[in-house]
Structure 1
Amino acid sequence: MPSFEEITRHHEPDPDENPWVQGPPPSGPVSLVDYDPHWPEHYQRLASGIREALGDVVLDLEHVGSTSVPGLAAKNVIDIDLTVADPRDEDAYVPALERIGYTLVIREPSWHEHRALRLADLDTWPRVNLHVFGPDCPEAIRHRMFRDWLRTHPEDRDLYANAKRDAIPGGGNVMDYNGRKEKVVHEIYDRMFRAAGML
């Protein structure tokens, strides 16, 4: 289990690292939609497919991100955290995931050995981002804590929703959008960590 310091620190990937396996995705506007009560069902269907493809390779699987928080507006993207024994051992999971339509798009050794895959079928809706981490990864722990906090703290869920809407008009790509809402995200994390006695 990582220390409180490791969990509460905002880790950043190496800015000189090129994470894109097949080149960066095309830039496009970010759009939000109202919460869709079918998102949990989409996650369950996707999770079943991943578990069937990988078997015991799956150490944990979690629905994270905004689509996992009832009542929260979000990009129409299901974010899933997959925990495997070693994300560097891509042969243990990438070929099996490719067989069910996923494509490896991100490799970030400097950021918890993070890997990300997307469903290759661009007609799939909602879209799917499958994030791969190792056991006891601080970032995966943060994702679960943030999800659970927003599920039980409607005032912070609404604060986050407003920050997301305010970040849209600036234009640019998803990374630009994420940067514009980062201050509010860190504010919520700080409140969450203090409530948990971690700061």
Structure 2
Amino acid sequence: MAADIELIGGQEKRDIRVVPYDKAWPRRFAHERDRIIAALGPLACRVDHIGSTAVPGLAAKPIIDIDLSVPNVDDEDTYLPQLIAAGYHLRVRQPGHRMVRTQDLDVHVHICTAGSDWERRHLLFRDWLRHDADDRELYGKMKQELAAQDWPDMNAYAATKSPLIAEITERAEAWAHSTQWHPNRPRA
């Protein structure tokens, strides 16, 4: 794990379970999006469903990943107290990114600065996997294989996926360039 990442509460051993896509995941996201917007109002510049649960047909850990864009992620006093009051718990603090999660650990809200590279990368990766069946299948297969292994924590599992994510991201970037993809333009 990178030295610049602070895990609030330290390392946690968690079982990694990957399940088939669940059509209820978009509704779960919508519920959490509404909670976040109610807590933050206009400070929530964007609230997007990201990660594998945002890609129809892709197997995933049953954890809803949300990208929350705020004016300045480093200015925690403007948004973190409201999210904590809404029932989220701070888990990760790193430059350009914070992560809060629900007590049941089934929702991870990744907080970044609006317009940042963090925001763009995650939206592009999601949109590419929605678009490209081959990479969606490749990524899903790897996740299922890795989930069958024993991991010291979820970060170790995620780090092992990094080389494939980098490879897929290269193809996504080429697609973004050729199609003039932009995170503010919705894609089917």
Q: TM-score, normalised by structure 1?
A: 0.83
Q: Give the distance between the partners of 2:86 and 2:9, measured in 1 at CA.
A: 19
Q: Deviations over 1:42-73 (max 9, x none)?
A: 11111011101111111111000000000000
Q: Which residue of 2 aligns with 1:185?
A: 165
Q: Which residue of 1 aligns with 2:54?
A: 68
Equivalent residue for 2:36, pick from 50, 55, 71: 50
Gaps of 5+ in 1: 1-12
Q: Which residue of 2 aligns with 1:98?
A: 84
For 2:149, the aligned partner's letter is G
Q: Which residue of 2 aligns with 1:128?
A: 107
SS in 2 for 1:82: strand
SS in 1 for 2:148: helix
Query: Mapping of 1:81-160 within 5 angstroms?
Result: 81-109=67-95, 112=96, 114-120=97-103, 122=104, 127-160=106-139
Deviation at 1:132, TM superposition (A): 0.6
Q: Give the distance between the partners of 2:28 and 2:177, measured in 1 at CA.
A: 34
Q: Deviations over 1:79-112 (max 9, x none)?
A: 0011111112112111111111111111102xx2
Q: Give the distance between the partners of 2:91 and 2:83, measured in 1 at CA.
A: 12
For 1:23, the aligned partner's letter is G
Q: Give the distance between the partners of 2:31 and 2:149, measured in 1 at CA.
A: 34
Deviation at 1:17, TM superposition (A): 2.7
Q: Which residue of 2 aligns with 1:79?
A: 65
Q: TM-score, normalised by structure 2?
A: 0.88
For 1:20, the aligned partner's letter is L
Deviation at 1:151, TM superposition (A): 0.8
Q: Deviations over 1:2-27 (max 9, x none)?
A: xxxxxxxxxxx8x3235112323x21
Q: Which residue of 1 aligns with 2:149?
A: 170
Alpha-carbon RMSD:
1.7
For 1:43, the aligned partner's letter is F
Q: Which residue of 1 aligns with 2:186?
A: none
Q: Deviations over 1:100-147 (max 9, x none)?
A: 1111111102xx2x1110112x2x7xx000111012111210111111
Deviation at 1:181, TM superposition (A): 2.3
SS in 2 for 1:164: helix
Equivalent residue for 2:21, pick from 35, 40, 43: 35
Gaps of 5+ in 2: 179-188
For 1:19, the aligned partner's letter is E
How many residues of Structure 1 are paired with residues of Structure 2 in the alignment?
177
